[in-house]
Amino acid sequence: LLTQLGALRRGEPLHQKMRIAGQLMGGERVIDVTNPYTGALIGTIPKASVAEIQHAFRTAKNFKSTLTRYDRYKIMLRASELLRANADAISDLITAESGLCKKDTLYEVGRACDVFQFAANQSLVDDGQVFSCDLTPHGKQRKVYTMREPLLGAISAITPFNHPLNQVAHKVAPSIATNNRMVLKPTEKTPFSALLLADILYEAGLPPEMFSVVTGDPREIADEMLTNADMDLVTFTGGVPIGKYIAGKAVYKRQVLELGGNDPIIVMEDADIEEAATLAVSGSYKNSGQRCTAVKRMIVHEKIADRFVELLVEKTRAIKYGDPMNPDNDMGTVIDEPAARGFESKVNDAIEHGAKLLYGNVRKGALYSPTVLDHVPETCALVAEETFGPVSPVIRCKDIADAIRISNSTPYGLSSSVCTNRLDYITRFVRELEVGSVNVREVPGYRLELTPFGGIKDSGLGYKEGVQEAMKSFCNTKTYSLPWA
Ligand code: NAD
């Protein structure tokens, strides 16, 4: 696919096949993929049959990797280099399929490079433990050792549309680092980045049986991805309804579920208001507001709320949005027109319930403007549910207890941002916010691709992602013991 990206620039459709253990397969029945901004056909992907999915898992399970740690390190460093060397063309592809602007998709390619670099380094690390056994009166002269092994069966991975390349990188890199074999189904909305990444990994020297990409209609193939007998673990990133469906369907499979969020930025009365407004804007509109950790609620102390809102509107006005291919734009479209219409109707509903619209709520096709609302009642759907788009709803709070109560009032618990310099506030937020991460004076989405990341409550089961934690989830821990005088 990398060699065909010129066709994309000439406006010729990309007709792709699946990558099953390196073989190009499928394509008798296809799904059209269109550009959310222009509406033009970008290309087609195969609609897999259940038999093709079964073939992919069987082939994956039957392959046992003999790659050394150094082999895996080299393959992933090479993949990172190939991504970096082709960053501009790859970012064009992501922009075409997702409507995300060039600034966002260039950043995304850089993040995927980081993922492979971290995974390459981690594949060199042996984190086995040693336990001496002469620790108690009934101890023995032995030692117990731990080692991590790849799963016996394959891994099933399912990814969403909002980071078409980086979400896939976060699944496959830890799988390679641990010598596992993975079958991945990207969303049918943005499937090309995943197919491209498979080609890059094969080019970098990955044995093709270690990574397959299948595509299709989830109504036909999703259940096979969740129940196939040759598969031991499902790793899913996406929304809560499908995550909960998986939790019920993938019985006796290990499950790693990274689901939605409703992350707050909390701005206290002592905060640097200029800094807080800058963080709020970047957290709200980056990636067209479509990040699981985007700022989805702004909980602001009433003493400084007027000044904060003034700056928020001023900084929102400065956001340039429109043609995602224009390198000067800060925001492109959202994923499709139905999503944009959904934001419009949720914002209108909030206004009917007493919120004040200060900027935006303008829609043209899948293009939805950055939008600011003040005095948003905490119970309206715009903030009680996840709104996966570029909306900045301000909720005013009285004090820290009120801020924590509002923050914890939704079913979600992914990440959070806290703007204050008071240590008593900071320690209380870190202890009392029901979330997976608390970032002080940073956006909720801040992390390294290496560090543990993930949510609780409806945002996930508490298992973390990030390269290091994902590697642990993808392994069986075996112990062995030896006599030791
Ligand atoms: P989605 O849940 O609609 O779809 C995700 C994937 O599930 C797609 O590949 C889709 O084809 C597949 N799918 C559809 N039906 C299925 C079924 N019955 N069984 C199994 N898989 C099925 O999510 P989306 O709209 O693509 O992405 C947006 C959502 O993802 C948001 O809620 C966002 O917060 C969440 N997200 C979470 C994280 C995180 O790490 N916590 C990161 C990014 C996005």
Check pocket membership of 446 for ligand 1, CB cut-off 6 A. no
Minimum-distance ligand 1 atom for the alpha carbon of 335: 25
Mean pLDDT across the stretch 208-228? 98
Burial class, 124, CB count within 10 angstroms (exposed 0-12 / middle 13-18 / buried 19+): exposed
pLDDT of residue 10: 87
Burial class, 478, CB count within 10 angstroms (exposed 0-12 / middle 13-18 / buried 19+): exposed
Mean pLDDT across the stretch 327-349? 98
Model pTM? 0.98
Is position 113 annotated as part of the catalytic site?
A: no
Q: How confident is the model at residue 3 (pLDDT cuts 50, 70, 90)?
A: confident
pLDDT tens profile 260-289: 999 999 999 999 999 999 999 999 999 999
Nearest residue (CA) to ligand 1, atom 23: 238
Burial class, 430, CB count within 10 angstroms (exposed 0-12 / middle 13-18 / buried 19+): middle
Catalytic one of 108, 258, 449, 469:
258
Q: How confident is the model at residue 387 (pLDDT cuts 50, 70, 90)?
A: very high
d(CA 458, CA 462): 10
pLDDT of residue 384: 98
- Measure 484 CA to ligand 1 centroid, in angstroms: 50
Check pocket membership of 159 for ligand 1, CB cut-off 6 A. yes
Check pocket membership of 388 for ligand 1, CB cut-off 6 A. yes
Check pocket membership of 162 for ligand 1, CB cut-off 6 A. yes
pLDDT of residue 485: 82
Check pocket membership of 386 for ligand 1, CB cut-off 6 A. yes
Burial class, 225, CB count within 10 angstroms (exposed 0-12 / middle 13-18 / buried 19+): buried
Provide the ipTM. 0.96
- Tell me which H or E stretch contains 65: none
Who has greater pLDDT, 6 or 196?
Answer: 196
pLDDT at 310 over 90: yes
Pocket test for ligand 1, best of 184, 292, 458 (most atoms within 8 A of CB): 292
pLDDT of residue 134: 96
d(CA 175, CA 65): 11
Mean pLDDT across the stretch 356-361? 98
Pocket test for ligand 1, best of 33, 53, 162, 245 (most atoms within 8 A of CB): 162
Q: How confident is the model at residue 58 (pLDDT cuts 50, 70, 90)?
A: very high
- Measure 159 CA to ligand 1 centroid, in angstroms: 6
pLDDT at 399 over 90: yes
pLDDT at 25 over 90: yes
pLDDT tens profile 131-180: 999 999 999 999 999 999 999 999 999 999 999 999 999 999 999 999 99
Is position 475 annotated as part of the catalytic site?
A: no
Mean pLDDT across the stretch 99-123? 98
Check pocket membership of 238 for ligand 1, CB cut-off 6 A. yes
Minimum-distance ligand 1 atom for the alpha carbon of 414: 41
pLDDT tens profile 175-208: 999 999 999 999 999 999 999 999 999 999 999 9
- Tell me which H or E stretch contains 484: none
pLDDT of residue 208: 98
**What share of the chain in percent tops pLDDT 70?**
100
Mean pLDDT across the stretch 404-423? 98
pLDDT at 8 over 90: no
pLDDT at 27 over 90: no
Check pocket membership of 242 for ligand 1, CB cut-off 6 A. yes
Check pocket membership of 463 for ligand 1, CB cut-off 6 A. no
Please, are residues 177 and 122 in contact by the beta-carbon 8 Å criterion? yes
Q: At what angle do helices 87-98 and 192-203 cross, to 10 degrees?
A: 160
pLDDT of residue 185: 98
Pocket test for ligand 1, best of 161, 227, 234, 334 (most atoms within 8 A of CB): 161
Mean pLDDT across the stretch 317-323? 98
In the predicted model, what is the mean pLDDT of the chain? 97
Sequence letter at residue 234: V
Check pocket membership of 456 for ligand 1, CB cut-off 6 A. no
Angle at 387 between CA 286 and CA 242, to 5 degrees: 105
**Tokens at residue 347, please?**
């914002």
Catalytic one of 292, 380, 397, 475:
292
Q: 456-457 and 412-413 as β-strands: parallel, antiparallel, unpaired?
A: antiparallel
